[in-house]
Structures are given as C-alpha cells and as structure tokens.
C-alpha cells in the first residue's frame, strides 16, 4: 500500500507540481477540487495507474469521488488490484 501511495505521490509531484515541496502534498490534499488535477491531467494519471499497476479504470470511475485525494486514489487502485 505504501509503495502504491509513494508512486502516485511521486507521479503527481513530478508531473503537476514541479518545484513544490513534497511535504505540501498530503494524503488528503484536494487534487481535483483544488485544480491540481484538471480533466486532462486526470486522464493522464488514469493511464499511468493502468500501466503501472496493471489495472483497468472505467470512464465512470474517474470522478471526484475517486480522484480528489491521494488516499482515494490508493483505495481505488487497491480495490482494482484485489478484484
């Protein structure tokens, strides 16, 4: 779980928050509702998750409920990997 979270955190920091202090990106930092992830960034993140974790995420699963916080994304990935 921790490695999944770290991979997601690193991806978001590198791709969408370059120069930001890693300590400012917390598990519950709003991503979608704060604008850190716009819709295209979410699409790219979904592709990254699918390729990295070997899962498939459907279009209807990409809303705020699953992508607004790192902990939500980690939970989605975990549920997919366990499915």
Q: Judged by CB under 8 A, how many residues of this single chain contact another protein?
A: 15
Among the listed ranges 2-10, 23-31, 57-65, 71-79, the one in contact with another protein (CB under 8 A) is: 57-65
CB of residue 40 to another protein, shortest distance in Å = 6
Burial of 63 (0-12, 13-18, 19+ CB in 10 A): exposed
Cα separation, 22 vs 78, in Å, equals: 23
* From candidates 42, 49, 68, 74, binder to another protein by CB under 8 A: 42
- Residues in touch with another protein (CB under 8 A): 16-19, 39-40, 42-43, 46-47, 58-60, 62-63
């Amino acid at each position: 779980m921790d490695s999944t979270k770290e991979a997601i955190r690193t991806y978001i920091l590198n791709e969408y928050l370059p120069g930001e202090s890693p300590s400012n990106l917390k598990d519950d930092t709003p991503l979608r509702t704060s604008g850190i992830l716009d819709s295209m960034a979410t699409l790219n993140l979904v592709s990254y998750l699918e390729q990295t974790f070997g899962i498939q995420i459907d279009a209807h699963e990409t809303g705020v409920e699953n992508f607004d916080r790192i902990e939500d994304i980690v939970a989605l990935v975990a549920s997919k990997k366990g499915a």
